[in-house]
Amino acid sequence: MDLDLSPEDLAFRDEVRTFLDENLTPELREAGRRLTSVFCDPEHSLPWQRILHARGWAAPSWPREYGGPGWNEVQRAIFAAECARAGTPSLAPMGLKMVAPVIMGYGTPGQKAFYLPRILSGEDYWCQGYSEPGSGSDLASLQLKAVSDGDHYVLSGSKIWTTHAQHANRMFCLVRTDAGGKPQAGITFLLLEMDTPGIEVKPIITLAGEHEVNQVFFDNVRVPKTGRVGEENQGWTVAKYLLEFERGGGSAPGLQVGLARADRIAEAAHGEDRWHRRRVAEAQIAVTAIDVSERRVLSALAGGGNPGPASSMLKINGTEAMQRVDEISVAALGPYAGVDQPAARLAGSNVEPVGPEAGLVAMPRYLNNRAASIYGGSNEIQRDIIARLVLGL
């Protein structure tokens, strides 16, 4: 693959850099620097999304017909790389990158006309109702019951690990509409409003001390059937389609930035220590391979398609490379990587050249990203998907 940029690509890169310089405020840059997860709190992500939306750049991968910029794969890669280097806050992926492609692919004309503009503008903030206390990677075993009652479904049960449910006004949710037969055949995909009576959100505080995930309880919650995407009992097909977008693509620019940060930390803390230099070099090889693979997937998506089983490969490699980068930073910082280390403790230490924020976010990032190889379907499940769909085993 030719990774060189044409004169037109270089002009586009300069346009993006100018836009970021003019619109990325110090507050937004600081929010980007302090990220410990792929999710940024909406108090920072939504203002940035509105700025991008005003320019027509909020959804780089969306087709032009739905409000996307109509960029080619190289332009999307350039934009992602420049945003990562500039330290922009990440946009909430649940709406823009996950449920939006599902609505485009399976939604009715009315659902597309209503939801897509609201997702693009940030008017709606989404969470994902997939996992349950007894259903994680074995998602087909989910039991959140949805009983048909006229023009509504009545939901009873719970969802868990629901990221940013405390902020969301909408959820896309998998429910059990038929308990007989093959488990996958009785699942339905629903869109619902989080302020519906009977919904209760309870926080789960992570090991990093952050409130990012929740458990959501449903007590006879009435959801209109107009919120169903696809046919009743056919939600498993819709769910798998969505997971392809959740799992694969777009991680390489962030990995490059994270690796550069880890490299600076390792060099400042240990100089030319051979062990650290070797780990950085090995991680760089992995990140470069991911970058090339993601560009190929972006090329396949240019016509509005879906990534297919390639998303499983990218999910495995991207999350494991992310964890490797985190390990480099934590190992280099040593005792200064502690979650509760105040910035003042770093004054005069051998990691001061990379800034005190390194010690404040390295361990929370490490702890949060340990889950990356589990959520969205564990990496073991992804290897099984590749074995079946690619290798035919």
Tokens at 230, concatenated: 């696809």
Catalytic residue among 82, 132, 244, 246: 246
CB 77 within 8 A of CB 298: yes
The long-range contacts involving 57-63, CB below 8 angstroms and separated by at least 24 positions, are 57/19, 58/91, 58/96, 58/120, 58/121, 58/122, 59/96, 59/100, 59/120, 61/97, 61/298, 61/301, 62/96, 62/100, 62/104, 62/120, 63/104, 63/304
8 part of the active site: no
Q: Which positions are catalytic?
A: 246
